[in-house]
Structure 1
């Protein structure tokens, strides 16, 4: 379970937070950039060039390739489900392996490097196993290491709580680690190195002619990330916004376009325009029938769902005795639905095989308004819409899962987002 943005915090020394250290590079490498020994060596070679240019470097790394999936499968060989605390101890080793082998590869190139766990890097967290949140970063621990080494490699996705317990940070944890360290150390920006050329106007696996978004505001990036764009996790962007850290998303090995996430998007910010199309493939629609004569029933339904870790979206009340909402992800809904029926004498129906498409931009409901165009595209392709949410920054339609790809391509073309190849 991912905590909300208000739970994210980093206690930083104010002078560090205000003074940007231009001689310090803070960079995160994702698991796809470290999947093989050859790729680790290539990253080491790239980092060595930074050191040769006079920079000191703090790296944050994810687990190599599919290591996380393999560790989860390994845990399942011994327990189902595995104890959350013990699963955290196992999961944290993936990032620690990446940090140590990258430090070794750098040392072999003559670069002074040291690897640190999240705890050794001064990252204090709180919360439950698998869902920790960063509450404090002690920058002195990394600063001390930088006196002896040119590169400090930090295992992302983890830290220690006030009781000394190791906790992992959940999905997007390494991105969040990198942003938190950039804020604490006063880095000019935080670089997120991944396997794509920045943030695109849509998923390039669906739309071949997407174009890069050169600059995007924190707000728009949070929307894109929260609605299905996988380049950055919303937690990391919200933390960057809170501490004024610019985030650059770039390809880890292939020079090309990059995206800067910052407070200022462009002189056009605020004018009605579409920035990108996001999508989700795994959405379920839930219909709950309760007593229409009990005004507290809806509140009790939502309270029980929260207790079960279910995050309802797109809520609606078609009639006084019926509540509808959507749930993203593939986590089993059976247990919470059963608990609903038992505690509240409610009847429920779950509609599977749904997805969503979202138009993300600014002033989307202002004249001329983009909602009519969205509805026209859906109608032209005979796409049914069982649920919809609108705001000034996003228009989200829940649609059949098998219509997602076609709808994304149609919306991308309709809103003129294709790359200009003339």
Structure 2
């Protein structure tokens, strides 16, 4: 029986005391494995690492658009499909990637073994499609590494305490990779994808963006939470908790990369702007209530949470009105109806909004960052019905048709086109 201790991934676990030398931990996204030719390119790259004597643990996503095709396949038989059965189906995408990559490595003379999340010792909890990793048994992988140079783990999945397979939801493979790095004592986890790293803004909007070479966990959580799509916030939070640096780099094209780490060792960070983030699908909700006070507003927010709505950018323009924003395009009819029935509240939903955010460090410690943002918004005659500030994020809700122009203007105003590396 394997007696290796499991890494507890609950909120306050003990940090690993030692780091594993000669161990490379790397995740490949689905866009890097989309075709057999690309899988073979990855295999050649990994084989070169193995030839140097290092051991390699890989985490893989499903090939290309496999996940979308599996969801469409499920829809041919049930609408909507049972969540449990959908998880069983979707987990196969990552398992296919792991198997074919292990085969490609073996063809190059590299001993490689593919593992499902369960076989890799990943224990999860939660509901189908939304599992969370609660602990990892590193002994499962360490035992395999005695005979194989490369272990390829199917990301995005694990088993719960009852033996049920669960997938982890969006960003699950990133989270799998960071969890394994923490469990195996890895000091760094590489995320190989189709971009060179985190950029100062969306390059589809701003042409002269730059790769951010180093970014703190706090700033990366903000960027990831605002649809930057390079890393999922859960993976960054997990990396911060266990002291694992995360390097984001291109899977095949050499170039700059971004390292997500603890940042400056000083007690207080130097005020700086790192990047501009944005969202397009934002709705502004106004709730008028007959009674006022924190307790009544608490009932409003509790009712919304019960309907699966997560309000953002809360404000109280006057005692009888609560305003907040909601991201995404999920229907709000049921929550609004419940508010009217249970709390005698009148609500209006305003579509066609977006948001722009200035991301950085110690933003409120400098007197200039907030006024500069407001100046740019005023110069472009952008209305701002809601705004929130924190040390790492300044966010303004604005009309959706002004998002692109505002992102470009803020990127220019804060001098982000200049490569500071």
Structure-2-length-normalised TM-score:
0.94
For residues 1-58 of structure 1, give each alpha carbon's deviation from its aligned partner in whole angstroms, at most 9, with x where no partner exists.
Answer: xxxxxx96389886xx221112100000011111111111111111011001111100
Alignment of 1:106-121 (within 5 A): 106-121=105-120
- Alpha-carbon distance, 1:298 to partner: 1.3
Does residue 1:364 correspond to 2:373, yes or no?
A: no
Q: CA 1:188 to 1:301, structure 2 compared with 1: closer, same or farther past 3 Å?
A: same
Q: Which runs of 5+ in 1 are unaligned?
A: 1-6
Q: What secondary structure is seen at the aligned counterpart in 1 of 2:74?
A: helix
For residues 39-94 of structure 1, give each alpha carbon's deviation from its aligned partner in whole angstroms, at most 9, with x where no partner exists.
Answer: 11111111011001111100001111111122222222222222211111111111
The question of whether the paired residues in 2 share the 8 Å contact of 1:10 and 1:134 is answered with no
Residue 388 of structure 2 is matched in structure 1 by 389
Alignment of 1:7-406 (within 5 A): 9=10, 17-265=16-264, 270-292=269-291, 296-406=295-405
- Alpha-carbon distance, 1:401 to partner: 1.5
- Alpha-carbon distance, 1:381 to partner: 1.3
CA distance in 2, matches of 1:255, 1:143: 30
178-187 or 200-209, larger mean C-alpha shift? 200-209
Q: What secondary structure is seen at the aligned counterpart in 1 of 2:84?
A: helix
- Alpha-carbon distance, 1:294 to partner: 7.0
CA distance in 1, matches of 2:229, 2:330: 18
The question of whether the paired residues in 1 share the 8 Å contact of 2:187 and 2:243 is answered with no
Q: What secondary structure is seen at the aligned counterpart in 1 of 2:363?
A: coil
Residue 4 of structure 1 is matched in structure 2 by none
CA distance in 2, matches of 1:157, 1:257: 27
Q: CA 1:161 to 1:35, structure 2 compared with 1: closer, same or farther past 3 Å?
A: same
Q: CA 1:295 to 1:407, structure 2 compared with 1: closer, same or farther past 3 Å?
A: closer
CA distance in 1, matches of 2:350, 2:13: 46
The question of whether the paired residues in 2 share the 8 Å contact of 1:11 and 1:135 is answered with no
Q: CA 1:295 to 1:18, structure 2 compared with 1: closer, same or farther past 3 Å?
A: closer
CA distance in 1, matches of 2:10, 2:92: 25
- Alpha-carbon distance, 1:268 to partner: 11
Q: CA 1:251 to 1:294, structure 2 compared with 1: closer, same or farther past 3 Å?
A: closer
Q: CA 1:265 to 1:331, structure 2 compared with 1: closer, same or farther past 3 Å?
A: farther
- Alpha-carbon distance, 1:158 to partner: 0.6
CA distance in 1, matches of 2:313, 2:334: 21
Q: What secondary structure is seen at the aligned counterpart in 2 of 1:411?
A: helix
193-202 or 73-82, larger mean C-alpha shift? 73-82
Q: What secondary structure is seen at the aligned counterpart in 2 of 1:365?
A: helix
The question of whether the paired residues in 1 share the 8 Å contact of 2:19 and 2:187 is answered with yes
CA distance in 2, matches of 1:294, 1:412: 39
